[in-house]
Amino acid sequence: MVENKNLRNTGFLGILEHMAEDKKRLLTGIQSSGQLHIGNYLGALKPFVESYDKYESTLMVADYHALTSLRNPDQLRENIVDVVADYIAVGVNPTVATIFKQSDILEHTELAWIFECLVTVPFLSQAHAYKDKVSKGLDANAGLFNYPMLMAADILLYDTDVVPVGEDQRQHIEYAREAAAKFNLAYGETFKEPKEMILKDVGTVPGVDGKKMSKSYNNTIPLFGTDEAIRTAVMSIKTDSTAVGAPLNPETDITFQLHAHFTPNLAEIQKRYMDGTIGYKESKELLANNIIATISPMRERRAALSREAVIQILKDGAEVARAKASAKMKLVREKVGVALY
């Protein structure tokens, strides 16, 4: 791989110089859980790229969160590097956003323990994400159960103003606000209560079978797959039995729903659907071409980014994050009464 020297040359001071004090603080967390797909791109990466420079933005790799389900250390190490490379490839500038991994900042788990001492078991048992994952067969370990308080610590350590989330993750931010409120009530005003930034425009990205695109459903189109892998996935999209030459319904067709995110001349495609002048095969071929055209420049940037450059970005980001987290936890320790010297 070619090392990107510009990305390596970020530095602690270089990052701080790009942070405007009057900007609101935004934090988003990403789990290092494996290869990303276009649903991840549309639902998380693309919205972040389009908005992060308007805020003092922090991008955290949630590697401790990943331990609730991942037991392969080699895979976790690769996933951490991969997910950072993915964000850089789609356009995130590490001199503008602070990028770090959760496990580098020990204050996250320390603060999570303090929050866990303030909330009740019945309160945590109401978490939608916990109940949903257990219902799908995921091990009901204590880490998964306490997940909301570690996420609250992730957010509150940095005096975060806004957290971009999908509608299904709104409760996580509500839990963070509740943790902040309980601490402030018990020990005095300390934490800012964050607000959620609901990502409404994207909605649910359909997989090739029509369900929500998800690795757990095995219905994804790979984000940085080869041209062949992308074409194979697109051509496997489920369709009905409408004959060639008959009008197609763009409102129910999965392929057309994905066209809406990748095809510039959408109105023309929609007209052809309704006129019956395009069949499913041609529609899929056009979609595959448009996805590849969108992804190819990103794929090239990703291939040029070395592992060493990614690790340097994480180290530089950790310096920035650690300074903020350390100052906050110093105050917290004084508030709760454990600071003696």
Give the β-pairing of 98-101 and 56-61.
parallel
pLDDT at 144 over 80: yes
Q: Which of 316, 296, 327, 328 is nearest to 96 (CA)?
A: 316
Cβ atoms of 101 and 69 closer than 8 Å: no
111-125, 130-144, 223-237: least confident range: 130-144
Residue 44's pLDDT band (cuts 50, 70, 90): confident
Q: Which of 304, 299, 297, 266 is nearest to 283 (CA)?
A: 266
* Percent over 90 (pLDDT), the chain: 77
3-state percent breakdown (helix, strand, coil) of the chain, nearest 5: 55, 10, 35
Residue ranges and CATH numbers for the domains of the chain are 5-204+305-336 (3.40.50.620), 215-298 (1.10.240.10)
Residue 201's pLDDT band (cuts 50, 70, 90): low
Region of residue 206 (phi > 0: left; psi between -120 and 50: alpha; otherwise: beta): beta
User: Which of the residues are catalytic?
Assistant: 133, 212, 215
Cβ atoms of 44 and 59 closer than 8 Å: no
* Percent over 70 (pLDDT), the chain: 92
Q: At 157, is the secondary structure helix, strand, or coil?
A: coil
Distance CA 210, CA 240 (A): 12
Looking at residue 203, its pLDDT comes to: 66
Distance CA 61, CA 128 (A): 22
Side chain identity at 296, as an amino acid letter? S
